[in-house]
Protein backbone atom coordinates (compact mmCIF):
# COMPACT_ATOMS: atom_id res chain seq x y z
CA UNK A 1 0.00 0.00 0.00
CA UNK A 2 1.40 3.38 -1.04
CA UNK A 3 2.28 6.03 1.47
CA UNK A 4 0.68 9.37 0.66
CA UNK A 5 2.68 12.59 0.72
CA UNK A 6 0.51 15.72 0.57
CA UNK A 7 1.64 19.33 0.24
CA UNK A 8 -0.28 22.55 -0.25
CA UNK A 9 1.22 25.70 -1.74
CA UNK A 10 3.12 27.63 0.91
CA UNK A 11 1.18 30.67 2.18
CA UNK A 12 3.28 33.80 1.86
CA UNK A 13 4.41 35.46 5.06
CA UNK A 14 3.33 39.06 4.39
CA UNK A 15 -0.09 39.00 6.04
CA UNK A 16 -3.12 36.92 6.94
CA UNK A 17 -4.54 34.95 4.02
CA UNK A 18 -8.04 35.34 2.58
CA UNK A 19 -10.64 32.64 1.89
CA UNK A 20 -9.44 32.30 -1.71
CA UNK A 21 -6.02 31.19 -0.45
CA UNK A 22 -7.68 28.76 1.95
CA UNK A 23 -9.87 26.98 -0.61
CA UNK A 24 -7.18 27.04 -3.31
CA UNK A 25 -4.68 24.89 -1.46
CA UNK A 26 -4.66 24.23 2.29
CA UNK A 27 -8.29 23.30 2.98
CA UNK A 28 -8.77 20.70 0.20
CA UNK A 29 -5.40 19.20 1.08
CA UNK A 30 -6.60 18.85 4.67
CA UNK A 31 -9.89 17.24 3.61
CA UNK A 32 -7.99 14.72 1.50
CA UNK A 33 -5.42 13.99 4.22
CA UNK A 34 -8.16 13.41 6.78
CA UNK A 35 -9.98 11.04 4.42
CA UNK A 36 -6.84 9.04 3.72
CA UNK A 37 -6.04 8.67 7.41
CA UNK A 38 -9.61 7.65 8.22
CA UNK A 39 -9.60 4.98 5.55
CA UNK A 40 -6.39 3.40 6.81
CA UNK A 41 -3.73 4.96 4.59
CA UNK A 42 -0.45 6.42 5.86
CA UNK A 43 -0.53 10.11 4.98
CA UNK A 44 1.95 12.91 5.67
CA UNK A 45 0.60 16.45 5.18
CA UNK A 46 3.36 19.07 5.00
CA UNK A 47 3.11 22.84 4.67
CA UNK A 48 5.07 25.94 5.75
CA UNK A 49 5.19 29.69 5.54
CA UNK A 50 7.04 31.06 2.50
CA UNK A 51 9.27 33.68 4.12
CA UNK A 52 11.89 34.94 1.66
CA UNK A 53 11.74 37.51 -1.10
CA UNK A 54 11.20 41.22 -1.50
CA UNK A 55 7.61 41.40 -0.13
CA UNK A 56 8.75 39.96 3.21
CA UNK A 57 11.43 42.63 3.59
CA UNK A 58 9.03 45.39 2.57
CA UNK A 59 6.28 44.17 4.92
CA UNK A 60 8.78 44.00 7.78
CA UNK A 61 9.95 47.54 7.01
CA UNK A 62 6.34 48.77 7.01
CA UNK A 63 5.79 47.04 10.38
CA UNK A 64 8.96 48.62 11.77
CA UNK A 65 10.45 45.22 12.64
CA UNK A 66 13.60 43.29 11.73
CA UNK A 67 12.62 40.87 8.99
CA UNK A 68 13.42 37.75 11.02
CA UNK A 69 11.28 38.99 13.93
CA UNK A 70 8.46 39.93 11.57
CA UNK A 71 8.50 36.50 9.90
CA UNK A 72 8.54 34.66 13.24
CA UNK A 73 5.52 36.63 14.44
CA UNK A 74 3.62 36.17 11.19
CA UNK A 75 4.34 32.44 11.14
CA UNK A 76 2.82 32.06 14.60
CA UNK A 77 -0.17 34.25 13.65
CA UNK A 78 -0.89 32.22 10.52
CA UNK A 79 -0.42 28.91 12.32
CA UNK A 80 -2.97 29.94 14.99
CA UNK A 81 -5.55 30.66 12.30
CA UNK A 82 -4.92 27.36 10.52
CA UNK A 83 -5.32 25.58 13.86
CA UNK A 84 -8.62 27.44 14.20
CA UNK A 85 -9.72 26.09 10.81
CA UNK A 86 -8.85 22.57 11.97
CA UNK A 87 -6.10 22.04 9.39
CA UNK A 88 -4.39 18.78 10.33
CA UNK A 89 -0.84 19.45 9.17
CA UNK A 90 1.62 16.82 10.29
CA UNK A 91 4.07 19.69 10.24
CA UNK A 92 3.83 23.40 9.45
CA UNK A 93 7.35 24.67 8.92
CA UNK A 94 9.22 27.77 7.83
CA UNK A 95 11.17 28.29 4.63
CA UNK A 96 13.75 30.27 6.64
CA UNK A 97 14.68 27.11 8.55
CA UNK A 98 18.26 25.76 8.67
CA UNK A 99 16.95 22.56 7.06
CA UNK A 100 15.67 24.42 4.02
CA UNK A 101 18.89 26.42 3.73
CA UNK A 102 20.94 23.22 3.79
CA UNK A 103 18.86 21.38 1.17
CA UNK A 104 18.50 24.42 -1.11
CA UNK A 105 22.26 24.91 -1.15
CA UNK A 106 22.72 21.20 -1.83
CA UNK A 107 20.38 21.44 -4.83
CA UNK A 108 22.30 24.45 -6.15
CA UNK A 109 25.67 22.72 -5.83
CA UNK A 110 24.38 19.63 -7.64
CA UNK A 111 22.93 21.74 -10.45
CA UNK A 112 26.27 23.53 -10.77
CA UNK A 113 28.20 20.24 -10.88
CA UNK A 114 25.90 18.99 -13.64
CA UNK A 115 26.25 22.10 -15.79
CA UNK A 116 22.78 23.58 -15.21
CA UNK A 117 23.81 26.80 -13.45
CA UNK A 118 25.70 29.60 -15.12
CA UNK A 119 27.02 32.91 -13.79
CA UNK A 120 25.97 35.81 -16.01
CA UNK A 121 26.39 39.57 -15.97
CA UNK A 122 23.22 41.64 -16.17
CA UNK A 123 22.39 45.33 -15.90
CA UNK A 124 20.38 46.22 -12.80
CA UNK A 125 19.16 49.34 -11.01
CA UNK A 126 21.48 50.54 -8.22
CA UNK A 127 20.41 52.98 -5.50
CA UNK A 128 23.19 55.32 -4.48
CA UNK A 129 21.28 56.40 -1.37
CA UNK A 130 20.83 52.82 -0.18
CA UNK A 131 24.21 51.61 -1.41
CA UNK A 132 22.75 48.47 -2.97
CA UNK A 133 21.27 46.92 -6.09
CA UNK A 134 17.48 46.92 -6.03
CA UNK A 135 15.33 43.94 -6.99
CA UNK A 136 12.47 44.93 -9.29
CA UNK A 137 9.94 45.07 -6.44
CA UNK A 138 12.17 47.52 -4.53
CA UNK A 139 11.64 50.08 -7.27
CA UNK A 140 8.37 52.03 -7.38
CA UNK A 141 7.10 54.79 -9.62
CA UNK A 142 4.32 55.86 -11.94
CA UNK A 143 2.99 53.33 -14.43
CA UNK A 144 3.45 54.60 -18.02
CA UNK A 145 0.25 52.82 -19.08
CA UNK A 146 -2.35 53.83 -16.47
CA UNK A 147 -0.67 56.53 -14.40
CA UNK A 148 -0.86 54.59 -11.10
CA UNK A 149 1.79 56.22 -8.88
CA UNK A 150 2.68 53.16 -6.77
CA UNK A 151 3.51 50.71 -9.54
CA UNK A 152 6.34 48.27 -8.84
CA UNK A 153 9.30 47.60 -11.08
CA UNK A 154 7.99 44.19 -12.05
CA UNK A 155 4.25 44.84 -12.45
CA UNK A 156 1.59 47.50 -12.02
CA UNK A 157 -0.97 46.16 -9.57
CA UNK A 158 -3.56 48.64 -10.85
CA UNK A 159 -3.60 47.68 -14.54
CA UNK A 160 -1.65 44.37 -14.15
CA UNK A 161 0.76 45.24 -16.99
CA UNK A 162 4.16 43.56 -16.65
CA UNK A 163 6.89 46.20 -16.37
CA UNK A 164 10.63 46.65 -16.38
CA UNK A 165 12.04 49.06 -13.76
CA UNK A 166 13.26 51.35 -16.54
CA UNK A 167 9.63 51.71 -17.74
CA UNK A 168 8.59 53.57 -14.59
CA UNK A 169 8.16 57.33 -14.55
CA UNK A 170 9.78 59.07 -11.56
CA UNK A 171 11.27 55.78 -10.34
CA UNK A 172 12.43 55.70 -6.73
CA UNK A 173 13.71 53.26 -4.12
CA UNK A 174 11.03 51.54 -2.03
CA UNK A 175 13.54 51.51 0.84
CA UNK A 176 14.64 55.11 1.11
CA UNK A 177 12.34 56.87 -1.36
CA UNK A 178 15.41 58.21 -3.17
CA UNK A 179 15.25 58.74 -6.92
CA UNK A 180 19.06 58.80 -7.13
CA UNK A 181 19.21 55.60 -9.18
CA UNK A 182 21.48 54.34 -11.92
CA UNK A 183 21.88 51.17 -13.96
CA UNK A 184 25.02 49.14 -13.22
CA UNK A 185 26.37 45.77 -14.19
CA UNK A 186 26.19 42.92 -11.66
CA UNK A 187 26.41 39.13 -11.69
CA UNK A 188 23.73 36.57 -10.92
CA UNK A 189 23.27 32.82 -11.17
CA UNK A 190 20.99 31.50 -13.90
CA UNK A 191 19.27 28.11 -13.91
CA UNK A 192 19.64 26.79 -17.47
CA UNK A 193 16.08 25.56 -17.86
CA UNK A 194 16.46 25.57 -21.64
CA UNK A 195 18.88 22.62 -21.34
CA UNK A 196 16.29 20.69 -19.29
CA UNK A 197 13.22 21.35 -21.45
CA UNK A 198 13.28 17.98 -23.20
CA UNK A 199 13.51 16.10 -19.91
CA UNK A 200 10.68 18.11 -18.38
CA UNK A 201 8.51 17.50 -21.45
CA UNK A 202 9.16 13.76 -21.27
CA UNK A 203 8.41 13.71 -17.55
CA UNK A 204 5.10 15.58 -17.97
CA UNK A 205 4.16 13.35 -20.90
CA UNK A 206 4.59 10.32 -18.66
CA UNK A 207 3.26 11.63 -15.35
CA UNK A 208 0.81 14.39 -16.29
CA UNK A 209 -1.64 12.23 -18.27
CA UNK A 210 -4.07 11.96 -15.36
CA UNK A 211 -3.72 15.48 -14.00
CA UNK A 212 -6.78 17.76 -14.14
CA UNK A 213 -7.03 19.70 -17.38
CA UNK A 214 -6.35 22.95 -15.53
CA UNK A 215 -2.95 21.75 -14.30
CA UNK A 216 -1.82 19.89 -17.42
CA UNK A 217 -2.85 22.66 -19.84
CA UNK A 218 -0.91 25.32 -17.90
CA UNK A 219 2.19 23.12 -17.76
CA UNK A 220 2.04 22.33 -21.47
CA UNK A 221 1.46 25.99 -22.37
CA UNK A 222 4.70 26.94 -20.62
CA UNK A 223 6.58 24.17 -22.37
CA UNK A 224 5.13 25.13 -25.76
CA UNK A 225 6.30 28.70 -25.26
CA UNK A 226 9.76 27.36 -24.33
CA UNK A 227 11.65 27.31 -21.06
CA UNK A 228 13.92 30.28 -20.63
CA UNK A 229 17.02 30.36 -18.48
CA UNK A 230 16.05 32.06 -15.23
CA UNK A 231 17.98 34.17 -12.73
CA UNK A 232 17.85 32.37 -9.39
CA UNK A 233 19.67 34.90 -7.19
CA UNK A 234 18.73 38.32 -5.85
CA UNK A 235 20.33 41.23 -3.99
CA UNK A 236 18.50 40.95 -0.68
CA UNK A 237 19.43 40.81 2.98
CA UNK A 238 16.95 38.01 3.73
CA UNK A 239 17.05 34.63 2.04
CA UNK A 240 19.05 31.44 1.58
CA UNK A 241 22.62 32.67 1.02
CA UNK A 242 24.61 31.58 -2.00
CA UNK A 243 27.18 29.13 -0.57
CA UNK A 244 30.66 30.60 -0.33
CA UNK A 245 32.35 27.27 -1.04
CA UNK A 246 30.88 27.25 -4.55
CA UNK A 247 30.46 30.91 -5.49
CA UNK A 248 32.79 32.91 -3.20
CA UNK A 249 32.50 36.18 -5.12
CA UNK A 250 28.70 36.21 -5.16
CA UNK A 251 28.55 35.09 -1.53
CA UNK A 252 30.84 37.99 -0.58
CA UNK A 253 28.42 40.35 -2.33
CA UNK A 254 25.59 38.97 -0.16
CA UNK A 255 23.58 37.33 -2.94
CA UNK A 256 20.71 35.08 -1.86
CA UNK A 257 18.62 32.61 -3.83
CA UNK A 258 15.42 33.81 -5.45
CA UNK A 259 12.38 32.93 -3.34
CA UNK A 260 10.92 30.74 -6.09
CA UNK A 261 14.09 28.66 -6.13
CA UNK A 262 14.09 27.87 -2.41
CA UNK A 263 10.32 27.84 -1.64
CA UNK A 264 9.47 24.47 -3.26
CA UNK A 265 12.54 22.94 -1.63
CA UNK A 266 10.91 23.78 1.70
CA UNK A 267 8.47 20.90 1.18
CA UNK A 268 11.51 18.70 1.68
CA UNK A 269 12.97 21.02 4.32
CA UNK A 270 9.76 20.99 6.36
CA UNK A 271 9.65 17.20 6.19
CA UNK A 272 13.15 17.18 7.65
CA UNK A 273 12.01 19.68 10.30
CA UNK A 274 9.15 17.28 11.13
CA UNK A 275 11.58 14.36 11.45
CA UNK A 276 13.94 16.33 13.72
CA UNK A 277 11.21 16.44 16.36
CA UNK A 278 11.37 12.63 16.68
CA UNK A 279 14.50 11.46 14.81
CA UNK A 280 14.35 7.93 16.24
CA UNK A 281 10.93 7.24 14.72
CA UNK A 282 10.87 9.48 11.67
CA UNK A 283 12.90 9.13 8.51
CA UNK A 284 12.36 12.25 6.40
CA UNK A 285 14.46 11.05 3.50
CA UNK A 286 12.34 7.95 2.82
CA UNK A 287 9.50 10.29 1.81
CA UNK A 288 11.62 12.16 -0.73
CA UNK A 289 14.63 10.16 -1.87
CA UNK A 290 14.24 6.89 -3.78
CA UNK A 291 10.64 6.98 -2.52
CA UNK A 292 9.06 4.56 -4.98
CA UNK A 293 6.28 3.60 -2.55
CA UNK A 294 5.17 7.24 -2.05
CA UNK A 295 2.29 8.83 -3.95
CA UNK A 296 2.81 12.59 -3.91
CA UNK A 297 -0.19 14.93 -4.35
CA UNK A 298 0.17 18.72 -4.50
CA UNK A 299 -2.66 21.24 -3.99
CA UNK A 300 -2.44 24.78 -5.34
CA UNK A 301 -4.20 27.64 -7.10
CA UNK A 302 -3.63 27.98 -10.82
CA UNK A 303 -1.06 30.80 -10.53
CA UNK A 304 1.31 28.38 -8.74
CA UNK A 305 1.04 25.63 -11.35
CA UNK A 306 4.01 26.64 -13.56
CA UNK A 307 6.44 26.67 -10.65
CA UNK A 308 5.32 23.26 -9.38
CA UNK A 309 4.85 21.43 -12.69
CA UNK A 310 7.74 22.87 -14.72
CA UNK A 311 10.31 24.83 -12.73
CA UNK A 312 10.67 22.71 -9.62
CA UNK A 313 10.63 19.40 -11.55
CA UNK A 314 13.36 20.88 -13.79
CA UNK A 315 15.37 21.67 -10.66
CA UNK A 316 14.89 18.15 -9.29
CA UNK A 317 15.77 16.53 -12.63
CA UNK A 318 18.89 18.68 -12.92
CA UNK A 319 20.30 17.41 -9.61
CA UNK A 320 20.61 13.95 -11.19
CA UNK A 321 19.46 12.53 -7.87
CA UNK A 322 16.33 10.41 -7.27
CA UNK A 323 14.21 13.09 -5.55
CA UNK A 324 10.47 12.43 -5.40
CA UNK A 325 8.50 14.37 -8.00
CA UNK A 326 4.80 15.06 -7.89
CA UNK A 327 2.40 12.35 -9.02
CA UNK A 328 -0.82 14.36 -9.05
CA UNK A 329 -1.38 18.12 -9.18
CA UNK A 330 -4.79 19.28 -7.95
CA UNK A 331 -5.11 22.84 -9.21
CA UNK A 332 -7.91 25.29 -8.48
CA UNK A 333 -9.31 28.35 -10.19
CA UNK A 334 -10.11 31.54 -8.28
CA UNK A 335 -12.64 32.10 -5.56
CA UNK A 336 -13.93 35.61 -6.19
CA UNK A 337 -15.76 38.03 -3.92
CA UNK A 338 -18.98 39.06 -5.67
CA UNK A 339 -17.17 38.41 -8.95
CA UNK A 340 -14.15 40.56 -8.06
CA UNK A 341 -10.73 39.43 -6.91
CA UNK A 342 -9.87 38.88 -3.29
CA UNK A 343 -6.81 41.00 -2.64
CA UNK A 344 -4.37 40.70 0.26
CA UNK A 345 -2.66 44.00 -0.53
CA UNK A 346 -5.92 45.91 -0.96
CA UNK A 347 -7.71 44.04 1.88
CA UNK A 348 -10.69 43.22 -0.30
CA UNK A 349 -12.88 40.28 0.68
CA UNK A 350 -12.99 38.04 3.74
CA UNK A 351 -9.76 37.13 5.46
CA UNK A 352 -9.34 33.98 7.46
CA UNK A 353 -8.93 35.64 10.85
CA UNK A 354 -12.11 37.68 10.35
CA UNK A 355 -13.97 34.60 9.11
CA UNK A 356 -13.32 32.81 12.40
CA UNK A 357 -14.46 35.87 14.35
CA UNK A 358 -17.81 35.73 12.54
CA UNK A 359 -18.63 31.99 12.57
CA UNK A 360 -17.06 28.65 13.57
CA UNK A 361 -14.67 26.97 11.16
CA UNK A 362 -17.02 24.20 10.03
CA UNK A 363 -19.42 26.68 8.44
CA UNK A 364 -16.55 27.94 6.26
CA UNK A 365 -15.00 24.54 5.62
CA UNK A 366 -18.22 23.06 4.31
CA UNK A 367 -19.20 26.04 2.16
CA UNK A 368 -15.77 26.43 0.61
CA UNK A 369 -15.33 22.76 -0.30
CA UNK A 370 -18.93 22.40 -1.52
CA UNK A 371 -18.27 25.36 -3.83
CA UNK A 372 -14.59 24.76 -4.57
CA UNK A 373 -13.44 26.47 -7.80
CA UNK A 374 -12.44 23.26 -9.54
CA UNK A 375 -13.67 23.58 -13.13
CA UNK A 376 -14.04 27.36 -13.17
CA UNK A 377 -14.00 30.37 -10.87
CA UNK A 378 -16.50 30.41 -8.00
CA UNK A 379 -18.03 33.57 -6.56
CA UNK A 380 -18.50 34.12 -2.85
CA UNK A 381 -21.59 36.09 -1.90
CA UNK A 382 -23.06 36.40 1.56
CA UNK A 383 -26.45 35.42 0.16
CA UNK A 384 -25.13 32.15 -1.30
CA UNK A 385 -23.16 31.44 1.87
CA UNK A 386 -26.21 31.91 4.09
CA UNK A 387 -28.43 29.79 1.84
CA UNK A 388 -25.89 26.94 1.87
CA UNK A 389 -25.36 27.04 5.63
CA UNK A 390 -29.06 27.25 6.39
CA UNK A 391 -30.19 24.56 3.96
CA UNK A 392 -27.40 21.98 4.15
CA UNK A 393 -25.90 22.39 7.59
CA UNK A 394 -28.70 23.79 9.77
CA UNK A 395 -31.76 22.16 8.19
CA UNK A 396 -30.52 18.94 6.60
CA UNK A 397 -27.86 17.81 9.08
CA UNK A 398 -28.17 19.82 12.28
CA UNK A 399 -31.95 19.63 12.54
CA UNK A 400 -31.90 15.87 11.87
CA UNK A 401 -29.45 15.26 14.71
CA UNK A 402 -31.26 17.49 17.16
CA UNK A 403 -34.80 16.29 16.58
CA UNK A 404 -33.89 12.59 16.54
CA UNK A 405 -31.96 12.72 19.80
CA UNK A 406 -34.31 15.17 21.53
CA UNK A 407 -37.46 13.22 20.59
CA UNK A 408 -35.95 9.88 21.57
CA UNK A 409 -34.81 11.19 24.95
CA UNK A 410 -38.23 12.70 25.58
CA UNK A 411 -40.11 9.49 24.76
CA UNK A 412 -37.65 6.70 25.57
CA UNK A 413 -35.08 8.16 27.97
CA UNK A 414 -31.31 8.52 27.75
CA UNK A 415 -30.53 5.19 26.06
CA UNK A 416 -30.98 4.07 22.46
CA UNK A 417 -34.38 2.32 22.36
CA UNK A 418 -34.72 -1.28 21.23
CA UNK A 419 -38.00 -1.61 19.36
CA UNK A 420 -38.72 -3.95 16.49
CA UNK A 421 -36.28 -5.78 14.25
CA UNK A 422 -35.27 -3.99 11.05
CA UNK A 423 -37.92 -4.16 8.33
CA UNK A 424 -38.20 -3.41 4.61
CA UNK A 425 -37.86 0.36 5.03
CA UNK A 426 -34.61 -0.10 6.96
CA UNK A 427 -33.28 -2.57 4.37
CA UNK A 428 -33.99 -0.09 1.57
CA UNK A 429 -32.39 2.71 3.56
CA UNK A 430 -29.28 0.63 4.24
CA UNK A 431 -28.93 -0.19 0.55
CA UNK A 432 -29.28 3.50 -0.36
CA UNK A 433 -26.76 4.59 2.29
CA UNK A 434 -24.22 2.01 1.11
CA UNK A 435 -24.54 3.22 -2.50
CA UNK A 436 -24.18 6.87 -1.53
CA UNK A 437 -21.21 6.07 0.69
CA UNK A 438 -19.50 4.29 -2.21
CA UNK A 439 -20.16 7.33 -4.41
CA UNK A 440 -18.75 9.65 -1.75
CA UNK A 441 -15.63 7.51 -1.38
CA UNK A 442 -15.11 7.39 -5.15
CA UNK A 443 -15.28 11.18 -5.50
CA UNK A 444 -12.90 11.64 -2.57
CA UNK A 445 -10.40 9.19 -4.08
CA UNK A 446 -10.62 11.12 -7.36
CA UNK A 447 -10.23 14.50 -5.58
CA UNK A 448 -13.56 15.71 -6.94
CA UNK A 449 -14.51 17.81 -3.96
CA UNK A 450 -17.74 19.40 -5.16
CA UNK A 451 -19.07 16.00 -6.18
CA UNK A 452 -17.97 14.54 -2.85
CA UNK A 453 -19.88 17.32 -1.07
CA UNK A 454 -22.97 16.51 -3.13
CA UNK A 455 -22.71 12.84 -2.16
CA UNK A 456 -22.26 13.77 1.52
CA UNK A 457 -25.30 16.04 1.34
CA UNK A 458 -27.26 13.18 -0.26
CA UNK A 459 -26.31 10.93 2.66
CA UNK A 460 -27.71 13.51 5.08
CA UNK A 461 -30.85 13.93 2.95
CA UNK A 462 -31.47 10.18 2.90
CA UNK A 463 -31.83 10.24 6.69
CA UNK A 464 -34.33 13.07 6.51
CA UNK A 465 -36.38 11.28 3.85
CA UNK A 466 -36.46 8.12 5.98
CA UNK A 467 -37.53 10.11 9.03
CA UNK A 468 -40.28 11.93 7.14
CA UNK A 469 -41.58 8.67 5.70
CA UNK A 470 -41.62 6.81 9.02
CA UNK A 471 -42.77 9.88 11.03
CA UNK A 472 -41.97 8.50 14.50
CA UNK A 473 -43.86 11.41 16.12
CA UNK A 474 -47.03 9.89 14.62
CA UNK A 475 -45.88 6.27 14.71
CA UNK A 476 -45.43 6.37 18.48
CA UNK A 477 -49.14 6.91 19.01
CA UNK A 478 -50.09 3.53 17.55
CA UNK A 479 -46.85 1.58 17.31
CA UNK A 480 -44.29 2.58 19.98
CA UNK A 481 -42.01 -0.34 19.14
CA UNK A 482 -41.98 0.72 15.51
CA UNK A 483 -41.14 4.31 16.53
CA UNK A 484 -38.28 2.97 18.66
CA UNK A 485 -36.91 1.11 15.62
CA UNK A 486 -37.10 4.29 13.55
CA UNK A 487 -35.22 6.30 16.16
CA UNK A 488 -32.62 3.58 16.69
CA UNK A 489 -31.99 3.48 12.95
CA UNK A 490 -31.79 7.28 12.80
CA UNK A 491 -29.25 7.27 15.65
CA UNK A 492 -27.13 4.83 13.70
CA UNK A 493 -27.28 7.29 10.82
CA UNK A 494 -26.02 10.05 13.14
CA UNK A 495 -23.11 7.83 14.13
CA UNK A 496 -22.36 7.16 10.46
CA UNK A 497 -22.61 10.88 9.64
CA UNK A 498 -20.17 11.64 12.46
CA UNK A 499 -17.56 9.40 10.84
CA UNK A 500 -17.97 10.19 7.15
CA UNK A 501 -18.46 13.95 7.62
CA UNK A 502 -15.22 14.35 9.57
CA UNK A 503 -13.04 15.44 6.61
CA UNK A 504 -15.44 18.30 5.89
CA UNK A 505 -16.66 19.38 9.35
CA UNK A 506 -14.34 17.86 11.96
CA UNK A 507 -15.55 19.79 15.03
CA UNK A 508 -19.22 19.06 14.32
CA UNK A 509 -18.40 15.44 13.55
CA UNK A 510 -16.69 15.12 16.92
CA UNK A 511 -19.78 16.59 18.63
CA UNK A 512 -22.03 14.04 16.89
CA UNK A 513 -19.65 11.20 17.72
CA UNK A 514 -19.44 12.11 21.39
CA UNK A 515 -23.24 12.03 21.73
CA UNK A 516 -22.99 8.24 22.10
CA UNK A 517 -21.27 6.57 25.03
CA UNK A 518 -20.25 3.58 22.96
CA UNK A 519 -17.62 1.34 24.56
CA UNK A 520 -14.74 0.37 22.30
CA UNK A 521 -15.93 2.77 19.59
CA UNK A 522 -12.68 3.24 17.70
CA UNK A 523 -14.08 2.98 14.18
CA UNK A 524 -12.46 5.48 11.84
CA UNK A 525 -14.52 4.59 8.76
CA UNK A 526 -17.68 2.72 7.83
CA UNK A 527 -17.62 -0.44 5.72
CA UNK A 528 -20.26 -1.11 3.09
CA UNK A 529 -21.73 -3.89 5.25
CA UNK A 530 -21.94 -1.57 8.28
CA UNK A 531 -23.63 1.05 6.11
CA UNK A 532 -26.18 -1.49 4.92
CA UNK A 533 -26.95 -2.93 8.35
CA UNK A 534 -26.99 0.34 10.34
CA UNK A 535 -26.51 -1.54 13.61
CA UNK A 536 -23.27 -0.04 14.86
CA UNK A 537 -25.02 1.67 17.80
CA UNK A 538 -26.98 -1.06 19.67
CA UNK A 539 -30.04 -0.62 21.84
CA UNK A 540 -29.16 0.35 25.38
CA UNK A 541 -26.31 2.69 24.41
CA UNK A 542 -26.38 5.83 26.55
CA UNK A 543 -26.51 9.11 24.64
CA UNK A 544 -26.70 12.85 25.22
CA UNK A 545 -28.18 15.61 23.10
CA UNK A 546 -25.39 17.92 21.89
CA UNK A 547 -25.90 21.69 21.63
CA UNK A 548 -27.32 22.95 18.35
CA UNK A 549 -24.70 22.07 15.72
CA UNK A 550 -25.42 24.92 13.31
CA UNK A 551 -27.27 28.15 13.98
CA UNK A 552 -29.15 29.63 11.05
CA UNK A 553 -27.88 32.84 9.52
CA UNK A 554 -30.62 35.46 9.80
CA UNK A 555 -31.35 38.53 7.70
CA UNK A 556 -30.01 40.65 10.56
CA UNK A 557 -26.78 38.63 10.48
CA UNK A 558 -26.51 39.16 6.73
CA UNK A 559 -27.02 42.89 7.09
CA UNK A 560 -24.24 43.02 9.68
CA UNK A 561 -21.88 40.98 7.49
CA UNK A 562 -22.53 43.17 4.45
CA UNK A 563 -21.89 46.28 6.50
CA UNK A 564 -18.61 44.93 7.86
CA UNK A 565 -17.23 43.31 4.70
CA UNK A 566 -19.11 45.01 1.90
CA UNK A 567 -21.17 43.41 -0.81
CA UNK A 568 -21.05 43.51 -4.57
CA UNK A 569 -20.79 47.28 -4.77
CA UNK A 570 -17.15 47.41 -3.63
CA UNK A 571 -15.88 44.07 -4.87
CA UNK A 572 -14.36 45.28 -8.13
Cα–Cα distance, 167 to 165 (Å, whole number): 5
Q: Is 47 annotated as a binding residue?
A: no
Q: Answer yes or no: do 210 and 79 share one domain.
A: yes
- Assess if residue 147 is contained within a domain: no
Are 499 and 526 contacting, i.e. CB atoms less than 8 angstroms apart? yes
Same domain, 412 and 488: yes
Whether residue 491 is contained in a domain is answered as: yes
Regarding whether 327 and 384 lie in a shared domain, the answer is no
Beta carbons within 10 angstroms of residue 461's beta carbon: 15
Instruction: Quote the pLDDT of residue 391.
Output: 98
Angle, CA 336 vertex, CA 509 and CA 384 arms, to 5°: 55
Average pLDDT for residues 123-135, to the nearest whole number? 90
- Looking at the domain assignment, is residue 184 inside a domain? no
Q: Among the three residues 297, 316, 332, which one is the final residue of a domain in this structure?
A: 332
71 carries a ligand binding annotation: no
What CATH number does the domain containing 220 carry?
A: 3.40.50.620
pLDDT at 568: 57
Residue 572 pLDDT > 70, yes or no?
Answer: no
Would 353 be classed as within a structural domain? no
Domain stop point among 312, 332, 352: 332
Residue 31 has pLDDT above 70, yes or no: yes
- End position of a domain, from candidates 299, 315, 332: 332
Band the pLDDT of 156: cuts 50, 70, 90. Answer: confident
HSE-up of residue 363 (Cα within 13 Å, Cβ side): 22
Contact status, residue 396 vs residue 460, Cβ threshold 8 Å: yes
Domain assignment present for residue 554? The answer is no
Tell me, yes or no, whether 238 and 302 share the same domain: yes
pLDDT given for residue 58 in this prediction: 85
Cα-flanking dihedrals φ and ψ of residue 142, to 5°? Answer: -95, 130
Same domain assignment for residues 218 and 319 = yes
Angstrom CA distances, 500 to 28, 395, 440, stand at: 16, 18, 9
| Whether residue 76 is found in the same domain as residue 205 | yes
Q: Is the dihedral of CA 276, 277, 282, 285 positive or negative?
A: negative
Mean local confidence (pLDDT), 406-424 = 96
391 and 320 in a common domain: no
Co-location of 532 and 432 in the same domain: yes
Position 570 scores a pLDDT of 46
| Pairwise CA distance, residues 267 & 11, whole Å | 12
pLDDT above 90 as % of the chain: 86
> What is the DSSP secondary structure assignment for residue 1, as one 8-state letter?
-
Strand runs (DSSP E) across 308-362, as ranges?
A: 328-332, 335-337, 340-341
Q: Name which of 454, 468, 524, 455 is nearest 496 in CA terms.
A: 524
**Looking at the domain assignment, is residue 347 inside a domain?**
no
Residue 412 CA to its chain's centroid (Å): 45
Task: Let me know if residue 550 belongs to a domain.
Answer: no
Are 328 and 392 members of one domain? no
C-alpha separations of 160 from 81, 138, 148, 438 in Å? 30, 17, 11, 45
Both 400 and 318 in a single domain? Answer: no
User: Model pTM?
Assistant: 0.94
Which structural domain range is residue 424 located in? 379-543
CATH at 487: 1.10.730.10
User: Poorest-confidence range of 54-68, 185-199, 481-495, 499-513?
Assistant: 54-68
234 vs 122, 189, 247, 307, CA distance in Å?
Answer: 12, 9, 14, 18
Q: Is residue 170 part of a domain?
A: no
Q: What percent of the chain has pLDDT over 70?
A: 98
In a shared domain, residues 436 and 522: yes
In 3D, which of 7, 36, 28, 42 has the Cα closest to residue 441? Answer: 36
Provide the terminal-to-terminal Cα distance of the chain, rounded to the nearest Å: 48
Mean pLDDT of the chain: 94
Q: Are residues 105 and 8 in the same domain?
A: yes
How many domains does the chain contain in total?
Answer: 2
Amino acid sequence: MARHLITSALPYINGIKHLGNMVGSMLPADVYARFLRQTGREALYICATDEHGTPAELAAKEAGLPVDTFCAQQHDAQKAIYDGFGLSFDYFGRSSSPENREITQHFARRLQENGFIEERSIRQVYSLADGRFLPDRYIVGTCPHCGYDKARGDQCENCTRVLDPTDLIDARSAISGSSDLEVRETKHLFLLQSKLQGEVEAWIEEHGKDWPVLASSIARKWLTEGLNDRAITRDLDWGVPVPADTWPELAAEGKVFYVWFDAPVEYIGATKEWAQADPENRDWKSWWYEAEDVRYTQFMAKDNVPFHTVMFPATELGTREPWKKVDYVKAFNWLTYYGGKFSTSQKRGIFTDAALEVLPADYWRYFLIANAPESDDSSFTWEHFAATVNKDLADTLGNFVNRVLSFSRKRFGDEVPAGLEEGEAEAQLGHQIAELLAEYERHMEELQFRKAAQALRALWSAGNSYLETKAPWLEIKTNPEGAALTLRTAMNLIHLYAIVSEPFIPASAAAMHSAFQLEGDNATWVTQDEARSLTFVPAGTAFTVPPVLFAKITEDDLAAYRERFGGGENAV
